[in-house]
Amino acid sequence: MSGLFYDLPVLWMTVVVVAGTVVVNGIIFRTVFSLATAERRPAFKLVSPVMLTPLAVVFGLIVGFLAAQVWSDAEHANAAVTREAGALDTVVLLTTSFPGETGKRVRALVRQHIEDAVAREWPAMARQDRTLAMLTTADTEAIELILSIVPAGNAQTIAQREMIDAFRTALDARRERIIISRSKINWVKWTVVLVLGGLILATVAIVHCDNRLTAGLAMSLFSTGVVACVVLIASHNRPFTGEISVSPELLVRVMPAQ
């Protein structure tokens, strides 16, 4: 599916999916009933309704697997951002153990890390840009600065060690969210879902080829379920894209003052 589709609000995404489903329904309905002439109708009626059961089971299993995938990605993305924000907050708190220019410089680099994430990385992750570097200049400078600190006493030694661990945790969380941002349901999986949905609609129309009203009602009911499933999966498909996405709000909250 197009990236523009994933950028839509859920309401407009639903409108697009409904419109597409109505078109497909109309094509299948007209095709089946144009073919179900008096000569062919007996053959159509020999298609057993039992055919719907295996198709529906396979469709349900695939939808379930895809839903589990997108929800898992969303949960991991939220967890990564939360862990990154918590680790950076710890770094900022530990800078109080290093008064003067050192602590101020570390806070400035943390602020730069967050500003880069909000202004540059989030839009890139929304586009699933694969050119994001796993380590930024600000991160490199921060690591070098923390390692260059010469502790004055046990308190600063412990603070330096904890600061290094916290910053390493933040970097690991950042790498994780970048990797997760590239996760998506590929076109093959979407094609299988749509093909199975179309087969079920065609089977419903064939089974009820002697009654247009019944066929139309049954197809409409199933199509409503398909629309709900597609919108549900599509709106969560890319964790950092669209109306339902992971925001950098937690990082902004822990951003140190200038």
> What are 187-222's pLDDT values in tens digits?
899 999 999 999 999 999 998 888 889 999 999 999
Tokens 């009626």 -> residue:
45
pLDDT of residue 209: 87
Under the banding of pLDDT at 50, 70 and 90, the label for residue 258 is low
> Region 218-247: what's the mean pLDDT?
92
In angstroms, the CA 89 to CA 91 distance is 5
Asked if 34 and 206 count as a contact pair (C-beta separation under 8 A), the reply is no
- What percent of the chain shows pLDDT beyond 90? 58
Digit-coded pLDDT (tens) for 59-108: 999 999 999 999 999 999 999 999 999 999 999 999 888 888 888 999 99
pLDDT of residue 52: 87
On average, the pLDDT of the chain sits at: 89
- What percent of the chain shows pLDDT beyond 70? 98
pLDDT of residue 26: 94
In angstroms, the CA 126 to CA 142 distance is 26
Q: How many CA atoms lie within 13 A of 192 on its CB side?
A: 14
pLDDT of residue 60: 93
| Cα angle value 61/212/221 (rounded, 5°) | 30
Under the banding of pLDDT at 50, 70 and 90, the label for residue 242 is confident
pLDDT of residue 46: 78
Collect all residues with Cβ–Cβ distance below 8 Å to 6 and sequence separation of at least 6: 234, 237, 238, 241, 242
pTM assigned to the model: 0.84
> Region 150-177: what's the mean pLDDT?
90
> Region 174-189: what's the mean pLDDT?
90
Q: Provide the phi-psi class of 27: left if phi over 0, else alpha when psi is between -120 and 50, else beta.
A: alpha
Strand runs labelled E in 77-158? none
Q: What single letter denotes the amino acid at residue 42?
A: P
Under the banding of pLDDT at 50, 70 and 90, the label for residue 130 is low
pLDDT of residue 110: 92
> Region 15-31: what's the mean pLDDT?
94
